[in-house]
Amino acid sequence: MYLACVTDTPDTQLTTDHSMEGTLGFEILEYGAERGRARFAVEDRVRQPFGIVHGGAYAALAESLASWCTYEAVRGDGNAAMGQSNFTSFMRPVSEGTVTAEAHCTHRGRTSWVWEVEFTDDQGRRCATTRVTMAVRPAPGG
């Protein structure tokens, strides 16, 4: 399994090694209602043909991290969290090392949450920023 968490993982329908997180090698370091942190190694599985990190890897990690963070906060009320929108801007290409994501919640509503996710390279330079809106809905089967 590639996904590693510092706390227990929430109940899900897929194990993380069979989901996008596991396939792309995402490591969730911390997740909670206010902030989250994650990272991935820059390997061929996240690179585009020119050797830099594919934009989809940033968007996927941002949505995954915002999903885990929101779900952690709303699952006690019988709710689930799922991506509603995802907008990523790229500042600097990354071709090696590790990309780290830091997510901060900017809006906590009854049916939607908004997260800002900043990505940095190993030198601490910003390489991308994502705004993710999460829909909060009743959990399936709940």
Q: Identify how many contiguous H helices and E strands the chain contains and give both numbers.
A: 2, 6
Total domains in the fold of the chain: 1
pLDDT at 53: 98
Residue 99 belongs to some domain of the structure = yes
Distance of alpha carbon 24 from alpha carbon 12, whole angstroms: 18
Residue positions annotated with a catalytic role: 63
pLDDT at 80: 95
For residue 117 the two structure tokens come to 């996710």
Query: CATH number for the domain including 70?
Result: 3.10.129.10
pLDDT at 11: 55
Residue 63 belongs to some domain of the structure = yes
Residue 11 belongs to some domain of the structure = no
Residue 4 belongs to some domain of the structure = no
Residue 7 belongs to some domain of the structure = no
Q: Which residues contact 63 (CB under 8 A, 6 or more apart)?
A: 83, 86, 130, 132
Q: Which domain holds residue 29?
A: 16-138
Give the dihedral of Cα atoms 57, 58, 62, 64; nearest 10 deg.
10
Residue 128 belongs to some domain of the structure = yes
Instruction: Please provide residue 122's backbone torsions phi and psi, each rounded to the nearest 5 degrees.
Output: -65, -20
CA 35 to chain centre: 11
- Each of the 142 residues of the chain gets a pLDDT tens digit; together they read 233 333 344 555 546 666 888 999 999 999 999 999 999 999 999 999 999 999 999 999 999 999 999 999 999 999 999 999 999 999 999 999 999 999 999 999 999 999 999 999 999 999 999 999 999 999 987 6
pLDDT at 15: 60
